[in-house]
Structure 1
């Protein structure tokens, strides 16, 4: 199994993270200027055109704003075609123990990862097909042992305080 990782550090000068993607700072600036350069004139021209053609000036302004918004979308499409994200991707293979640890990390998160017993047959088969069923099965087993040990520690602490109170 291989894992694609997106690096959080930015090794090259001029790269910034925007909405979870690594991009060139210069490209972001050009994109913003392109957006403003298309949207503002479009809005102004549409406002003048709609304002002259319509009696209701509030409605004319609304249509002009929609035209400006459409120009922003066009600018975004142009920018997306001109400037691709500068993703930094590395690939590595995880051994079985690392896979199990990753599954345990997921299970320890506040929302957990669910249980294999809750999966339908199709879900179980998919995990078997990609070689992860045994990984999650082992992670569940280890998690149950951890939870059992923690419950035992809690009972031992509760039992010792109750026992001391009962001796009075």
Structure 2
């Protein structure tokens, strides 16, 4: 939910800072630049910097109020994603063929076990049924 007071304050801060920097820069550049159009263009650039500055000010004054909660995903969804990846590319490759840096990164992200188990499942010898 949006805090209306914070939103109103952020709008006022944004307008004052960005417009203020533009107007101040327009006066400075009008007195120092020979071509007025170039002075206005420079003033607009400074006004854009004022917009960024007002965003930084508002971010410091009004921290986010949302809480992001990570939840465990369904293993069946992961398996379906792996099968789709293998179907699109023909194979996902072998985990043993990866460079050590990639393996370390995958372990850090918690993806190594997923790919290793899928790789082991795909490379497991399939039992054949013969009729008598």
- TM-score between the two structures when normalised by the length of structure 2: 0.63
| Bigger share in helix | 2
For the residue of structure 1 that corresponds to 2:69, the secondary structure is: strand
Q: By how many angstroms is 1:136 displaced?
A: 1.8
| Corresponding residue number in structure 2 for 1:36 | 15
Root-mean-square deviation (CA, aligned residues, Å) is: 3.4
- TM-score between the two structures when normalised by the length of structure 1: 0.53
Cα gap change, 1:59/1:135 in structure 2, threshold over 3 Å: closer, same or farther?
same
**Can you list the C-alpha shifts for 1:68-96, whole angstroms capped at 9, x where unaligned?**
122112211110101111222335567xx
Match of 2:101 among 118, 122, 125: 122
| Bigger share in strand | 1
**Can you list the C-alpha shifts for 1:17-51, whole angstroms capped at 9, x where unaligned?**
xxxxxxx4543443233111111132123213311
| Corresponding residue number in structure 2 for 1:160 | none
Which consecutive unaligned segments of at least 5 residues does structure 2 have?
124-132
With a CA cutoff of 8 Å and minimum separation of 6, indicate the structure with the bigger relative contact order.
1
For the residue of structure 2 that corresponds to 1:49, the secondary structure is: helix
Matched, 1:47 2:22: no
| Corresponding residue number in structure 2 for 1:104 | 79
Aligned length: 118
